[in-house]
Amino acid sequence: MDIVKFFLDENYGNYSSQDASNIQMCILGGFLTSDIGYYPASFKEWGLTNKWKNDETNGNCTFLKKEGNYILLSDLYSEEEVPTTLKLTKEQYRQILTDWEEKVLKLRPKEVLIKYENDEFVIETKN
C-alpha cells in the first residue's frame, strides 16, 4: 500500500503533504497542495475534456501529460535523468480531484490520508 499524508495549517488555511511512501505519492501530494489548491476545476476540465488542444500542461510543481486513457504526472523540477511518473487512468484522476474537492476542500479536516491499493485511491480524513 502506498500513502501520502496531509496536514492543515490552521494559521494559513492550506495543506502540506508529508510522509509520502514513494516518489509517485510525493508527486501526488505536491500536485494536490501546490497546483490544485482550492481550484480543481481547470485541471479537471483539462484532463477530462477535449476543450484544450494541448495534451501537456503544468502547475507550480507538476508536469501533466495526456496519453491515451491516462494522465501522467511528474515532478516539474525533477533532477532525475528519467523523471519518475505517476500514471493515473482518467477515471482515477477524476475521482482523486472530485474526492479532494468534496472531502478536503469543502470539509477542511485537520488530517488527510490518501491510500493507493488494488488500483484504487482512497481519501480518509480526521479532525
Orientation angle between helical segments 90-99 and 41-48, nearest 10 degrees: 170
* Cα separation, 8 vs 21, whole angstroms: 19
pTM, entire model: 0.93
* Cα separation, 11 vs 101, whole angstroms: 20
Sorted by where each begins, the domain ranges of the chain are 2-126
Q: pLDDT in tens for each of the 127 residues of the chain? A: 999 999 999 888 899 999 999 999 999 999 999 999 878 999 999 999 887 778 999 999 999 999 999 999 999 999 999 999 999 999 999 999 999 999 999 999 999 999 999 999 999 999 9
